[in-house]
Structure 1
Amino acid sequence: MKVMIRRNDAGVLSAYVPKKDLEEPIVFQEKPELWGGIVHLANGWQLELPILPPGTTLPLTVDARKLASD
């Protein structure tokens, strides 16, 4: 699914899913560099992000895979 990853003025990462009109903060990242790992959203969703270079700038739209929700 298409997901936009962005960082707000306070430095908090969030994920926006246009198809669901859903924006949630990223509350946990499996890897410190974000890309190529699993992130947990505040609503319980888990998304697997693609592998991208560490210096990739935000905001960015990626194809993520939804793994689970609580």
Structure 2
Amino acid sequence: MKLMIRKNNNGALMAYVPKKDLEVAITESEKPELWGGVVTLANGWRLELPEMPGDTRLPITIEARRLEG
């Protein structure tokens, strides 16, 4: 699924899913650099993000995979 990741005014990471018109905070990240791991959104969704360099600039639109469970 397409996913846009950005930082809000407070510096918190936010995820926007255009197809669902849904914007929620990223509450947990499996890896400190975010990329190539699994993140958890405030609504409970778990998404696998692609591998990217740690210094990737935000905002960015990526292809993420939603994990079940």
Global fold match (TM > 0.5): yes
TM-score scaled to structure 2, two decimals?
A: 0.96
Instruction: Specify the alignment match of 1:36 in structure 2.
Output: 36
The 2-side partners of 1:3 and 1:60 are apart by 8
What do residues 22-55 of structure 1 show as CA deviations (whole Å, max 9, x unaligned)?
0110000000000000000000000000000011
Instruction: Specify the alignment match of 1:62 in structure 2.
Output: 62
Instruction: Specify the alignment match of 1:21 in structure 2.
Output: 21
The 2-side partners of 1:59 and 1:45 are apart by 20
For structure 1, the residue ranges without an aligned partner over 5 or more in a row are none
TM-score scaled to structure 1, two decimals?
A: 0.95
Alignment coverage as a number of residue pairs:
69
Residue identity (%) = 64
SS at match of 1:31: coil
